[in-house]
Amino acid sequence: MPNLAWEQQHVWHPYAAMPNPNPVYQVTSAYGVDLTLKDCRKVIDGMSSWWSAIHGYNVPELNTAIEKQLQDMAHVMFGGLTHQPAIDLAKTLINITPTNLEHVFFADSGSGAVEVALKMALQYQIGRKKDHKNKFLSLTNAYHGDTFAAMSVCDPNNSMHHLYKGLLPTHHFVAPDIQALREAFEAHHHELAAMIVEPIVQGAGGMLFYPAEVLQEIRKLCDEYDVLLIADEIATGFGRTGKLFACEHADIQPDILCLGKALTGGYLTLAAVLTDLKISQGIQKEGHILMHGPTFMANPLACAVAKASIDLLLDSPWQARVSNIESQLQEGLAPCLQSDKVADVRVMGAIGVIEMKDAIDIPNVQAQLLDNGVWLRPFGKLLYTMPPFICSDKHIQHITQAMTSI
């Protein structure tokens, strides 16, 4: 049986059936912004490998960081031990994130980071003897991950997790509207441990944008009603929206910050949860400890490449690059608004979205895009791109031309 036929019968892919009825495309190598497929086609990766490969592929500085660290150790447990890559990365993260954040917990995935953040909020309230504050407030169309606690703060009606609705803990949801937020806090603040939000850009829940004023109001209401604010910047962190972190659009500081995806430049899985002294001290009241510890927590290879990726980003003209990508996406996607098949076009930073009026025939559209030299991963009614920051004008024009040809 040919490899891909065997693979479709035995290897489970994200958000897919088994056996997988949809085609998959084998990648043999990646360099710069290009993926080379087994059939020798070379295509631009307009997805940055699910928003993580911000520098593209086969990056010399990141390769060197991995190779250098590999000479010392690939992994060592973090329980009772530490190592320089974790220390260096923690220092960097504390230096570049909001000034109130001074403690770093390393997780092994974005969903895992959200689990840790929710645990932190709950244990903080327990430490204050406010066990009744055990619910969370989230935005409609929110997406925060695929593990169980993370699923529970995803929109139960408008997310991919509606099948689990009766099995998950129930929390509260509110539209990103100032009046609705005020009403939600007034009604539920007495039981809320925290509000969790994707700042400014809601990702897998619909690629939706909301105004900075809404995020400012959320911070204000959290302070007013004694509710923690968790910022899930797994998708938005490290420059994707035009700011290093999306919270900067509203000039606010969260109590807990989740990072992932682009943290390692797309090389290895790693996430981080940062919080402030108030929460760390609150958790340890009554002798409590934070009950979480992944086996591969603070993996040295991942920490080393994450530090190198952040250094590479900060040493680059990333703001100018993202601003230029934004302009190119706006110009290139604008003609789609003339189509009667298109409901909306929206762009922010290095994010470009075409929302169709009807659901997209994903296998057919992906095949067309590949024929046009571009890899994208549409979902629902959305055709979108989050390209690597190193894309040239020619690359972005190639991506937008492929998108507008659908």
From 15, 39, 340, 358, active-site residue: 15
What's the CA gap between 64 and 397, in Å, rounded? 31
What's the CA gap between 212 and 183, in Å, rounded? 19
Contacts of 146 by beta carbon, 8 Å cutoff, 6+ apart: 111, 161
Instruction: Give DSSP secondary structure letters for 239-304.
Output: TTTSSSSGGGGTT---SEEEE-GGGGTTSS--EEEEE-HHHHHHHTGGG-------TTTT-HHHHH
From 57, 124, 143, 384, active-site residue: 143
Are 147 and 112 in contact by the 8 Å Cβ rule? The answer is: yes
No. of helices (H) and no. of strands (E), the chain:
13, 16
From 45, 108, 232, 255, active-site residue: 232
Assigned token pair, 137: 């407030």
155 catalytic residue (yes or no): no
From 133, 135, 243, 261, active-site residue: 261
> By 3-state DSSP, what share of the chain in percent is helix, strand and coil, each rounded to 5?
40, 20, 40
15 catalytic residue (yes or no): yes
Are 355 and 382 in contact by the 8 Å Cβ rule? The answer is: yes
261 catalytic residue (yes or no): yes
Please return the burial class of 195, using the count of CB atoms within 10 Å of its CB with bins 0-12, 13-18 and 19+. Answer: buried
Catalytic residues: 15, 143, 232, 261
